[in-house]
Amino acid sequence: MKTAFAIFLGFFALTANAQNYIDIARFSYGNTPLNTFEITSEQTKVEEFGLQLTFPIVLNEKTIVLTGISADRSRVKLDPDFTNHTALNKVRLQLGLNKVHSEKWTGTYVLLPSIASDFEKVTNDDFQIGLLTLLTFTKNKNLKYKFGFYANAEKYGPLFVPLLGLYYLSPNQKFESTLLLPGQADFNYQLAKNTALGINFDGMTSSYNLQESIYIPKGQYVVRSSNELYTYLQFELGKSLVAKTKLGYSISRTYKVFDNDDKVDLSLSSFYFGDNRTQLNTNFEKGAIFKVELLYRIHFD
Q: What is the pTM of this model?
A: 0.88
User: Could you tell me the CATH number of the domain that includes residue 124?
Assistant: 2.40.160.40
pLDDT per residue over 85-138, tens digit each?
A: 899 999 999 999 999 999 999 999 999 999 999 998 888 999 999 999 999 999
115 belongs to a structural domain: yes
Q: Please tell me the total count of domains within the chain.
A: 1
Give the pLDDT of residue 19: 55
Q: How far apart are CA 154 and CA 188, in angstroms?
A: 33
Give the pLDDT of residue 201: 93
85 Cβ neighbours under 8 A, 6+ residues apart: 44, 45, 75, 76, 77
Least confident of 5-9, 38-42, 65-69, 168-172: 5-9
Average pLDDT, the chain: 87
2 belongs to a structural domain: no
Q: How far apart are CA 296 and CA 294, in angstroms?
A: 7
1 belongs to a structural domain: no
| Residues spanned by the domain of 77 | 9-299
247 belongs to a structural domain: yes
pLDDT per residue over 126-177, tens digit each?
A: 999 999 999 999 999 899 999 999 999 999 999 999 999 999 999 998 999 9
Q: How far apart are CA 103 and CA 139, in angstroms?
A: 10
Place 301 in a pLDDT band, splitting at 50, 70 and 90.
Answer: low
274 belongs to a structural domain: yes
